[in-house]
Amino acid sequence: MKQWCLKTNKVNSLEVSHPFLSPDGSLLAFIGREEGHPEVYVTSSEGGVAKRLTFLGANTIVVGWSPDSGSILFASNTTQPFRRIYNLYQISPEGGLPERLPWGLANHLSYGRNGGVVIGRNTSDIARWKRYRGGTTGVIWIDPDGMGNFHKLLDLPGNLTAPMWVGERIYFISDHEQIGNLYSCLPNGGDVQKHTHHQDYYVRNATTDGKRIVYHAGAELFCFDPLNQNPVTQKIPVQFYSPQVQRQRKFVDCANYLESYHLHPDGHSTLVTARGKSFWFGNWEGAVTQIGQRDGVRYRCTCWLGNGQGFVTISDAGGEEALEIHSCDPHQPPQRLTGLDLGRTIAMEVSPTADMVALSNHRYELIVVDLTSKQSRILDRSIHHRIGGFSWSPDGKWLAYGFTENAKVSTIKLCSLVDGSTYRLTEPNFWDYAPSFDPDGKFIYFLSYREFNPVYDSLYFDLSFPQGMRPCLISLQKDTRSPFIAVPKPLNDKPPQEKANNLQENTNSKPEDNQTSDLKIDFDNISRRVVGFPVPEGRYGQVIGLKGKVLLTSFSIKGSLENGDGWSDENRNQATLYLLDFEQQKQDIVAEEVNNFKVCQDKETIIYRCQNRLRVCRAAPKSNGKLEDEPVRKTGWLDLNRVKISVIPNQEWQQMFREVWRLQKEHFWVENMSGIDWEQVYQSYRLLLDKVTSRSEFSDLIWELQGELGTSHAYEMGGDYRRSPGYHLGLLGADFRYDPVDDAYRVEHIVQGDSWNERANSPLNTLGTNIQEGDLLLWVGGQRLGKQVSPQELLVHKADLEVTLTFACQDEETYQTITVKTLRDDSKLRYREWVERNRQIVREKTGARVGYLHIPDMGANGYAEFHRYFGVEVQQEALIIDVRYNGGGNVSQLLLEKLARQRIGYCVSRWGQPQPYPIDSLIGPMVGITNELAGSDGDIFSHCFKLMKLGKLIGKRTWGGVIGISSPCHPLVDGSIVTQPEYSCWFQDVGWQVENYGTDPDIEVEITPQDWGEGKDPQLERAIELILQQLQENPVQLPEFSDRVATPVWKQISG
């Protein structure tokens, strides 16, 4: 057997992927990120400087070479209205513009000897969702003789990928026999043969040079020689010479990985947890001390103990999480409280009077742990949702907490730590949560959604409750006055009664009385002693009591489209922190741009987070002057650069790997893990962990681990990767082709977006530019273009910037130089053009009788798109609803509710046209269009569209992913997000069967590669045909309203 020795050929200092040697062995093509975007590069196989070939600013993957080594083949979603539409391209290794191949949606490509070609549609890495059987399973199309007539190669009950034409057979990966292995068949689809027999790991990433096939499985490389008289699979022994720089120790900034923080009971020191490690330090003086093991263990929810002499934390030392008690004295070993079934801790608070902690977990439980006896007990458990915050009483004998009673009701409850009895404090009518005790034991403050003050919508006849929240308090003693009612008092003095009370307290107190007095609670009619704060209804984040004061955060309302993708905290809203002073009866701002805050045990000092910074200050109104940024005692800002965090990647990956496995075990929607032996899965993939040498390899391992669950929504994303440069491509929202006659680039198409929105329209449509399709682009930024210098190449690192463009008008021998501002992303305008083109087609072919709208996802963007068109299109006789490529979300039920409106009447006036009742109800039929790239809530919409009998559904079977995920997700120590499929959707007609299957259309319509090449959309055409047929069979018309009856006039009856 031949020995392979791979020596490093450093063609790129950053991440590279998808390498392919040319058939003649002279060149190496790959995807590089040297300048930010994933682009096609080429270099000599002997080494040398790599050359960037593409300038697309999109997701791009090299898939091979042409047989003559003359072209590099790649797939990309450039210039597409949807990120999941990949087309195939070829580009010369010498450079120039890439050429799109006319076969539409495809991910793989392989040529045969006789000019034939096979392409893979929806062919991805099938190991990331093992045993997948939904609508997006890979399909192999074949054009046997290269004449452009494609048909499906074969139909197997599994997921197919990586088609390769080698010799007289088509080879591919399939898992139709439960494990992904290498198979082949004849070009007519017959004589299916199995060539590999892996049982533990899937065959992945198979590629060929036209003679042999190389693939990997379980972190090992294998070679299969199909042209050998006796084909066998051989393991390739690889000696990998690499410095493995991504496994070497490094240091990271504390601020970038800040997880939690906690003030010392006396307020002079701060405890922070960042990158899974906990540290404490004097706020502005002294050294920084790390708590616990230096590496390989994650610490969470770390808090100071009440005496300030130690800490309590959640530690996963040994692979499982448990409470640990650490002393400030490094000579004292930590105490690990093993054997306690605490679940995944979400929040933890230390008792103010005893060595006890309360915590809430992912099982919706409230638990208290006695750190002295090392015993735990469950105080309460909801069957609906997590505990909605909790707070210790000043005497440490009670816990107040938010408790979910049902899907729409949460109450404030109180639990006695003495006997375990629980009391409901608020009526089960609203959503009450986030309780906080008043330090004097008079009140419990909490937040409540109980303000029903509707606001009329500006665009639709609708009302909503965009705020709905108010901070409230509960008076624990029936004779306590409301703190919001002012008491008469002399100038510069306390109220007489308060003065007398203080005098009496001082008279009765003894020097030795330092203990907190027992809390007095009058439970009779306590729910009637709820008082709302005299502040406007709004959106509040926290409310915490001080002595005679209250701190609360208030958020402004932002549009949902401004809140980012929802996966990270980068776009989280920031609040204003207010101080309400009961004695002064006024409200002041303490700080702005606050994410969250905590109060010291002295109830006077606070610490708050502002993005990635922490500040310690008194709970007092902010001064009028500008707050300086310098981290010193005067400003209150903490210098987090003092905290030096070292990372040993391989130890961190081991911890993260175990945590990912554990999170699935704790959160997966069924306890039996869908019949998978999850412990065995852990052991199988743990063997591969020591071979991981980079963060991207670790990510790949996690995807394959979670893929064993065989369910949707098991993701891993983000993490601590080496950053690529941000040289974003400036886009012009136009398509060009090279004109060899003029050695310039002719404008083939200018994308038409929303002219009123510069971020959603082509810069070439800017007022006064007058650029037309057919004009020639000669110069960009004063630089002459040519065959080897494309416009895109000169627009690298020019996103969102003004650039000069010089054109030659096609009808005149004149030049025009204009200045435009480029785009960073042109998907919005390309999507708008796609929708408007479909809308125009429907109007033209139906005589403007049928409306059309598209829903791109079931999130905020899809909700906006639906309502942009619905009010207009529902006025037509019929409606086509298109959910192809729908990316999912959670608003399907809101949209289906509107589509399900039945027109049962009209409001008729003398002068105007009759208006339907209910408003925005359709008079005629509906038809839906879906496809295999509609998933998640797009699956649900498609299925329920049929289930509710709203109309016929046309297209292809949907994705089939309806085991959903909850928020918040659980970030790993390096910031990556992993999701756990936590709940599955059940439907009355098919039960659980939408998951891993999808929903079938009533009428299946395929879009073939030749349809794509000819620009046809047979799915839309079939929808138009069907809806016109329905209109013909059941013509739509308004009632005549001819029998209008005047209001009767009552005649006067004479006596």
CB 594 within 8 A of CB 574: yes
Q: Which CATH architecture has domain 4-242?
A: 6 Propeller (2.120)
Quote the Cα angle for 479-481-482, to 5°.
135
Contacts of 843 (CB under 8 A, 6+ apart): 850, 852
| Residue 587 confidence (pLDDT) | 95
Confidence of residue 13 (pLDDT cuts 50, 70, 90): low
Rounded Cα distance between 420 and 294, Å, is: 39
Share of residues in the chain with pLDDT > 90 (%): 88
Mean pLDDT of 295-318: 96
Give the per-residue pLDDT at 7. Answer: 47
Give the containing element (helix H, strand E) for 1030.
Answer: helix 1018-1033
726 Cβ contact partners less than 8 Å away, ≥ 6 residues apart: 36
Q: What pLDDT is stored for residue 399 in this prediction?
A: 98
At 165-222, the pLDDT tens digits run 999 999 999 999 999 999 999 999 999 999 999 999 999 999 999 999 999 999 999 9
| Contact criterion met (CB below 8 Å) for 364 and 381 | yes
Q: What is the mean pLDDT of residues 1000-1022?
A: 97
**CB count in 10 Å sphere of residue 831:** 21
Report the C-alpha gap between 988 and 722 in whole angstroms: 48
Whether 670 shows a pLDDT value over 80: the answer reads: yes
Six token digits for residue 35: 């300048």
Contacts of 999 (CB under 8 A, 6+ apart): 930, 939, 942, 943, 946, 953, 957, 958, 960
DSSP tag of 538: B
Q: What pLDDT score does 510 carry?
A: 45
CATH class entry, domain 734-823: mainly beta
Q: Which pLDDT score is estimated for 491?
A: 75
Sequence-distant (6+) residues with CB within 8 A of 580 are 533, 535, 549, 550, 551, 552, 586, 587
pLDDT of 6 higher than 60? no
pLDDT above 80 (res 690): yes
- Confirm if 70 and 51 have CB atoms less than 8 A apart: no
- pLDDT of amino acid 627: 86
- The contacts of residue 1046 (CB under 8 Å, 6+ apart) are none
Pairing between β-strand 905-907 and β-strand 915-917 as defined by DSSP bridges: antiparallel
Neighbour count for residue 517 (Cβ, 10 Å): 10
Letter string b/e over residues 913-922, b meaning 16 or more CB atoms within 10 A of that residue's CB: eeebeeebbb
Three-state DSSP state, 36 = coil
Report the C-alpha gap between 845 and 155 in whole angstroms.
35
pLDDT (mean) for 1019-1040: 96
Tell which residue, 57, 6, 43, 24, has the closest CA to residue 724: 57
Residue 564: pLDDT band with limits 50, 70, 90: low
* Confidence (pLDDT) at 489: 79
Q: What is the mean pLDDT of the chain?
A: 93
Q: Are 892 and 849 contacting, i.e. CB atoms less than 8 angstroms apart?
A: no
Token match 């063609």: residue?
A: 11
Q: How far from the centroid of its chain's Cα atoms is residue 110's Cα?
A: 34
Q: Are 721 and 750 in contact (CB under 8 A)?
A: no
What is the pLDDT, as a whole number, of residue 8? 45
Q: 607 - beta bridge partners?
A: 598, 616
Residue 243 has pLDDT above 80, yes or no: yes
pLDDT of residue 555 exceeding 80, the answer is yes
Identify the helix (H) or strand (E) that includes residue 220.
strand 220-224
Quick check: 512 pLDDT over 50? no
Q: Is 325 helix (H, G, I), strand (E, B) or coil?
A: strand
Q: Tell which residue, 258, 271, 380, has the closest CA to residue 601.
A: 271
- Per-residue confidence band for 322, with pLDDT thresholds at 50, 70 and 90: very high
DSSP H helical ranges for 525-648: none
Q: What does the pLDDT look like over 632-658, one tens digit per residue?
A: 999 999 999 999 999 999 999 999 999
Confidence of residue 812 (pLDDT cuts 50, 70, 90): confident
Asked if 316 contacts 655 with a C-beta cutoff of 8 angstroms, the reply is: yes
CATH number of 849-962+998-1033: 3.90.226.10
In DSSP terms, 51 is beta-bridged to 42
Q: d(Cα 114, Cα 144) in Å, to the nearest integer? A: 8
| Strand order, beta sheet including 72-76 | 60-65, 72-76, 87-91, 99-100
Residue 902 β-bridge partners: 922
Contacts of 824 (CB under 8 A, 6+ apart): 728, 730, 731, 799, 800
Please report the pLDDT score of residue 735 as a whole number: 97
pLDDT digits (tens, 9 = 90+) for 746-763: 999 999 999 999 999 999
Residues 6+ apart with CB under 8 A from 233: 182, 195, 196, 222, 223, 224
Q: Judging by beta carbons within 10 Å of its beta carbon (0-12, 13-18, 19+), is residue 947 exposed, middle or buried?
A: middle
Give the mean pLDDT of 62-90: 97
Residue 613: in which H helix or E strand, if any? strand 613-618
pLDDT digits (tens, 9 = 90+) for 877-936: 999 999 999 999 999 999 999 999 999 999 999 899 999 999 999 999 999 999 999 999
Beta strands of 651-753 (E only): which ranges? Answer: 716-717, 734-739, 744-750
Q: Using CA atoms, how far apart are residues 665 and 610, in angstroms rounded to an integer?
A: 34
DSSP state of 169: E
Residue 1 has pLDDT above 70, yes or no: no
- Burial call 50-88: b when 16+ CB within 10 Å, e when fewer: bebbbbbbbbbbbbbbebeeebbbbbbbbbbbbeebbbb
- The stretch 66-85 carries a mean pLDDT of 96
Q: How many CB atoms lie within 10 A of CB 754?
A: 15
The dihedrals phi and psi of 360, each to the nearest 5 degrees, come to -115, 155
Dihedral sign computed on CA atoms, order 80, 84, 85, 88: positive
Q: Look up residue 482 and give its two tokens.
A: 């409301």
Q: Bridge partners of 549? A: 546, 581
pLDDT recorded at residue 969: 78
d(CA 552, CA 545) in angstroms, rounded, equals 9
Tell me the mean pLDDT in the region 284-293. Answer: 96
**Cα 674 off chain centre by:** 25
Q: What is the pLDDT of residue 495?
A: 55
The confidence score (pLDDT) of residue 966 equals 86
Euclidean distance between CA atoms 259 and 612, whole angstroms: 10
For 866, the 3-state DSSP assignment is helix
Of 385, 380, 358, 381, the closest CA to residue 369 belongs to 358
One-letter amino acid for residue 676 of the chain:
I
User: Quick check: 358 pLDDT over 90?
Assistant: yes
Pair of tokens at residue 185: 């068949």
Q: Which helix (H) or strand (E) element contains residue 854? A: strand 850-854
Q: Which amino acid is at 886?
A: N
The reply to whether 849-962+998-1033 shares the fold of 734-823 is no
Distance CA 884, CA 938 (A): 8
Can you say whether residue 147 is alpha, beta or left, with left for phi > 0 and alpha for psi between -120 and 50 degrees? alpha
Output the DSSP codes for 49-68.
--EE-----S-EEEEEE-TT
Domain ranges of the chain: 4-242, 734-823, 849-962+998-1033
Rounding to the nearest 10 degrees, give the CA dihedral for residues 648, 649, 651, 655.
Answer: 130
pTM attached to this predicted model = 0.94
Please report the pLDDT score of residue 486 as a whole number: 86
Query: Which residues does the annotation mark as catalytic?
Result: 713, 936, 995
Helices and strands, number each (H, E), in the chain: 11, 71
- Please list the alpha-helical segments (H only) found in 875-922: 892-899
- Which of 8-12, 672-676, 854-858 is least confident? 8-12
